[in-house]
Amino acid sequence: MPPKRCRIIGIGGPIATPTGATRVWLQSVSLAIPRGRRDPMGFHRRRRRNRAPRPYEVASARVEYLVRTARITDIDRLVALSDDVVRASVGGGALGPADLLRQLVYLPQASIFVAEARREVVGGAVLALRPSVVAGGFAGTVDLLVVDPDHDIDRVTDALLEEVIRSAQNKGCSVIEAPQPTDPAERTRWERHGFVETGPRTELHVAAVGAGTSRSR
């Protein structure tokens, strides 16, 4: 088919738009924008952008405590936490607390546990084992339990005692004993786990793993 011909009407002529048509077109555009968004110059957007952000509250995150077996690198921190407890004790041996704890890390007759939060040691406990004819098996002694006062003492103590009790049961202990706490709040924490006062010491009778019944004193 031959190409269609077109006729040029004019070159360079101004294209005039009636004023009334322009006003109608702007009104139609304004009506097309939803209410609340009719801001052709962006004035309100700039105003909102320069406005200071509203303050908001941040909920405090709950600190999680992890209890694990102590390593050699944890001993210095554990000694620092237990410095007041060790100084108050009347015993004086040939080995210092740090040297003795480093040896206990490798001995099967003892277990050292630490509680950490955000990779920082915030508490620790030492469980020592000894054979006891009266107890009818092994007796576990909580020789040391310390908690950083800047952390939740109740939660850290509960976590350490739970791990101590579990370890003593797995190692065949029939009783767990510890020095009687003098602080009423501390005594309450131990009693929550079943420890009862027996003379100058407080102890808990547990069932050793594999044993039928535990023997009471």
Distances (CA, A) of 112 to 92, 120, 179, 200, 207: 21, 16, 17, 24, 21
- Which architecture does CATH list for 66-205? 3-Layer(aba) Sandwich (3.40)
Q: State percent of the chain over pLDDT 70.
A: 65
pTM for the whole structure: 0.64
pLDDT, residue 135, reads: 83
169-207 pLDDT, tens digit per residue, is 999 999 999 988 889 999 999 999 999 988 777 778 888
**Mapping DSSP to helix (H, G, I), strand (E, B) and coil, where does residue 204 land?**
strand
Annotated domain spans of the chain: 19-50, 66-205
Structure confidence at residue 23 as a pLDDT band (50, 70, 90): low
pLDDT-above-90 percentage for the chain: 45
The position carrying tokens 């952390």 is 151
The pLDDT of residue 25 is above 50: no
